[in-house]
Amino acid sequence: MKKITVIGAGLAGCEAAYTVARLGFEVDLIEMKPLRKTPAHKTDNFAELVCSNSLKASRVDSAAGLLKQEMRSLGSICLEAADKSHVPAGGALAVDRNAFSEYISKKIKECRNINVINQVVDKLPADSICIVATGPLTDGALAREIEAFTGEGNLSFYDAAAPIVSADSIDFSSAFVASRYDRDDTGVGDYINCPMNKDEYEAFHAALISAEGAPLHEFDKHIKVYEGCMPIEVLAKRGADSIRFGPLKPVGLRDPKTGHRPWAVVQLRKENASGSMYNLVGFQTNLKFPEHKRLFSMIPALKDADFLRYGVMHRNSFINSPQLLNQDLSLKKAENIFFAGQLSGVEGYMESAASGIIAGINAVNRLLDKQPLVLPKITMIGALIDYITDETVQNFQPMGANFGILPPLETHIRDKRERYAALAHRSLEYFKTIGE
């Protein structure tokens, strides 16, 4: 039996390998860990979440929620793992990151059609079918090999991870527990909210914009910053209220101690199932480590916080996919090579995983000489892949799930929530008509 090779056991690679295996074909899944790790990875597990532990909104009438529901229709192993490892997060699907990756690692290793090979890959196969899902930190000989296949240099942007604090070091005399607009399953609230009054906020903002950032590697100094993963200190420099209208927005929250909406709010989200760790929502940063403690201790509820992990910034790479990829995610110049994950130009955990499913299906279709699966643009996955393979897109930047990339409804609906619900319904009705 012919095999399909998948390079990389991140979210996209695991989805691709698992999809191929479920369809009845053998897979060689090649992963460089534990032989080598990127600067962002800490464990030997597959599908390691290196930034936030949130997989974004669960509601089907949200872009992220619709994407996940489509993935469920296609048999996503990542969502199977998320259901087994979720932690409370209001309207979001957040997971215990270790339990999540351990579940996927176990399922992959136990799958009889998947042969896991621990190896550092320097060369892509010339003739066999291969899915490249090596992630946003692809470098070295493999990066040069990809450049040789694509004829294009990699584009890059920065991705920044938020700090994590110990739950028992949070000052609850200055904090309150609630979800925005009381959106949670229990009525108690899944976020710890750290309010700031006007004077506290302005002092924090002034310190933040003058804080010292961590030095960048020489090769990183001219790389573009992706708008959707903007470091908090960079966003703060855009104006006095830029972060108060962004990650520190107080809308939908009322401090029970005052009965009023705070001037600004820093939200903390549970990082693990036991609730012993919380991350600062939206606080991805590239500040020097001593600056973390100095600055974030200015937030009243975090004045004595124990920081378990400081924020870090690392390089993300992606190919110029609109010029390089077919709609089945195969390389135009070498159609036996497929790309998936952030390297392919999608942005986000679930977006990367979804591209892995599609790459896996289409690698099998190529093996069987069948027509590729190209989902219509009325679906979130179809719209994402259409965007990253649209030759008319100029100055390409990675794209995440959003309703703006879907074609409009035949009849315009003025109410946004109702319009999004109708867009989601249209997509899911399509999925009812197809099988895997």
Task: State the pTM of this model.
Answer: 0.78
In angstroms, the CA 121 to CA 131 distance is 13
Higher-confidence residue of 39 and 236: namely 236
User: What pLDDT is attached to residue 212?
Assistant: 84
User: Which residues contact residue 336 at a Cβ distance below 8 angstroms, ignoring those fewer than 6 apart?
Assistant: 125, 127, 128, 129, 130, 330, 366
- Among 114-118, 306-310, 337-341, 363-367, the range scoring the smallest mean pLDDT is 306-310
Give percent of the chain with pLDDT exceeding 90: 64
Residue 185 has pLDDT above 50, yes or no: no
Residues 170-180, mean pLDDT to the nearest whole number? 93
Residue 308 has pLDDT above 90, yes or no: no
In angstroms, the CA 29 to CA 343 distance is 17
Residue 288 has pLDDT above 90, yes or no: no
User: What pLDDT is attached to residue 153?
Assistant: 63
In angstroms, the CA 5 to CA 427 distance is 31
Q: Which amino acid is residue 35, in one-letter code?
A: L
User: Which residues contact residue 216 at a Cβ distance below 8 angstroms, ignoring those fewer than 6 apart?
Assistant: 286, 313
Higher-confidence residue of 25 and 1: namely 25
Tell me: the pLDDT tens digits for 198-233? 999 999 999 999 998 766 555 455 555 666 667 899
- Computed over every residue of the chain, the mean pLDDT equals 89
CA distance between the termini of the chain: 21
CA-CA-CA-CA torsion sign (347, 352, 358, 359): positive
**Which two structure tokens, joined as six digits, stand for 301?**
């509820």
- pLDDT band (50, 70, 90) for residue 396: confident
Tell me: the pLDDT tens digits for 248-263? 999 999 999 999 999 9
Q: Which CATH class is domain 3-154+319-431?
A: alpha beta
Compute how many other C-beta atoms are within 10 angstroms of the C-beta atom of residue 41: 17
Largest CA distance in the chain: 69
* Choices 2.30.40.10, 1.10.3720.10, 2.130.10.10, 2.40.30.260: CATH for 161-315: 2.40.30.260
Domain edges within the chain: 3-154+319-431, 161-315
Q: Which amino acid is residue 25, in one-letter code?
A: F
Classify 305 as helix, strand or coil. Answer: coil
Residue with tokens 């399909």: 4
- Which secondary-structure segment (H or E) carries 339? strand 334-339
Residue 111 has pLDDT above 50, yes or no: yes
User: What pLDDT is attached to residue 137?
Assistant: 82
Residues 391-400, mean pLDDT to the nearest whole number? 83
Residues 278-289, mean pLDDT to the nearest whole number? 88
- Among 145-159, 219-233, 316-330, the range scoring the smallest mean pLDDT is 219-233
In angstroms, the CA 323 to CA 246 distance is 33
Give percent of the chain with pLDDT exceeding 70: 91
- pLDDT band (50, 70, 90) for residue 436: very low
Residue 12 has pLDDT above 50, yes or no: yes
Structural contact between residues 153 and 146, judged by C-beta atoms closer than 8 angstroms: no
